[in-house]
Structure 1
Amino acid sequence: MGEDGEYRYEGNPTVSIDPSSIPNFGQEPPKGSAGPSGGVVQPDQDLVKQLLEQMELKYVVDDEGDLAAPWEDFRTYFMFRGESEQQVFAVRTFYDRAYSIDDKGKLLEIADGWNRQTLWPKVYTHTHDDGSVRLIGEAQMLIGLGVGLEHFVSSTVSWVRASIEFDRWVIEQLGLEKDAESPDGEIGEGDDE
């Protein structure tokens, strides 16, 4: 953090992330902040760490070197893949709730509905070898030639926010809040009290 209180991306000391550019997750926006400095940057993991710190999100680096922000029922990974002009920045969220293979049709309907209504994350199912099915959300950005800092920051924050919203939306769609009280635990079969 610089003496003026702004976080600085160490790869380029003139680049900073301004808190007013970060969506507020329902809180009042900061007042009196100037916009972030513009320009093209080559994002890397340090810039994402700085952004997560400014968003006050905890993060870890996994065994493969990927950055992850854990929540109670999901984990969001921030990954850089590819080389040179083809490098991609991906934000991928793995939702922890496991479903049975019998529930896959309903999950696909839910994923299709979300994908039709929203820009990101795009959501799909993954069937594990044990037959359990989980949901995964993903958004990507080509960054090989660099990207505008403001675009990178606003996209990344929007993707994180949408990942959180998708978890809430799935709970609502499946009636999982009611299922916590239901003895049978069937998808969408909650108590009607």
Structure 2
Amino acid sequence: MSIDPSSIPNFGGQEPDPEGSGPTGPVIPDQELVKQLLDQMELKYVVDEEGDLAAPWEEFRTYFMFRGEEEQQVFSVRTFYDRPHPIEDKPKLLESIDDWNRRTLWPKVYSHTHDDGTVRLIGEAQLLIGTGVSLEHFVSSVVSWVRASIEFDKWLVEQFGLEKDAESGEKPDDGAE
């Protein structure tokens, strides 16, 4: 099975080849299909110790995982945002990600508090693929999920003034003294 290059949105790279053709019926996506899609999107990726695909960015990592058995198999795109937030910021973080989750379809974002007291955010989108899906739907979903994961990171930076933090090495001024 192969991806029709014309079905992938252009991200400013080379123009897709409109002569490609792919299956017309339902497909059951696998890791090789995701690798092909990531290659066509010109995204770098690695395979981690558990065998999952991961695409690293500077402040986050997006994993492409297959879980479950046959007809119940789920494809999950999960993004781990690497910025640590202090536990004191968790109420503000939760309020912000609740707002994001209400206004957007994906990724759905939640928090994880580590043993050291830092809070990190995780975004996730899933698709049941066990009985097959349209190749076009799979491709457009993955592309949308990747773009939304990037957009969430930009949105978070804007919400919390993290650009200033990253540029100056200082904690953003929240007006409290």
Provide TM-score, normalisation by structure 2: 0.90
Is residue 2:66 matched to residue 1:51?
Answer: no
8 Å Cα contact 2:5/2:16 also seen in 1: no
Give yes or no for contact 1:23–1:158 (8 Å, CA) kept in 2.
Answer: no
Match of 1:129 in 2: 115
Determine which of 52, 66, 70 is the counterpart of 1:84.
70
Corresponding residue of 2:54: 68
C-alpha distance in structure 2 between counterparts of 1:116 and 1:168, whole Å: 17
TM alignment of 1:148-187, pairs within 5 A = 148-180=134-166, 184-186=170-172
**Which amino acid in the other structure matches residue 157 of structure 1?**
V
- Do the aligned partners of residues 29 and 53 (structure 1) sit closer, same or farther apart at CA in structure 2, a change above 3 Å counting? closer
1 CA distance for matches of 2:108 and 2:6?
27
1:163-193 deviation digits (Å, cap 9, x = unpaired): 011100100111111233567514x639xxx
Paired with 1:48 and 1:28, the residues of 2 have a C-alpha distance of: 19
Runs of 4+ in structure 1 off by over 3 angstroms are: 28-32, 34-37, 180-184
The TM-score, its normalising length taken from structure 1, stands at 0.83
Q: 2:93 matched to 1:107?
A: yes
Alignment of 1:14-53 (within 5 A): 16-25=2-11, 27=12, 30=15, 33=18, 37=22, 38-53=24-39
SS at match of 1:47: helix
Tell me the alpha carbon deviations over residues 71-124 of structure 1, each in whole angstroms, 9 at most, x when there is no partner: 111000000000011100000000000001101111111111111111100001
More helix, by proportion: 2
Q: Say whether residues 1:97 and 2:83 are aligned partners.
A: yes
* 1:8-36 per-position Cα deviation (integer Å, ceiling 9, x unaligned): x3xxxxxx3123322233x3894772685
Question: Partners in 1 of 2:76 and 2:17 — Cα distance?
Answer: 32
- Shift in Å at residue 152 of structure 1? 0.5
> Within 2, Cα distance between the matches of 1:51 and 1:184?
38
Percent identical residues: 74
Contact 1:20–1:33 (Cα < 8 Å) also in 2 = yes
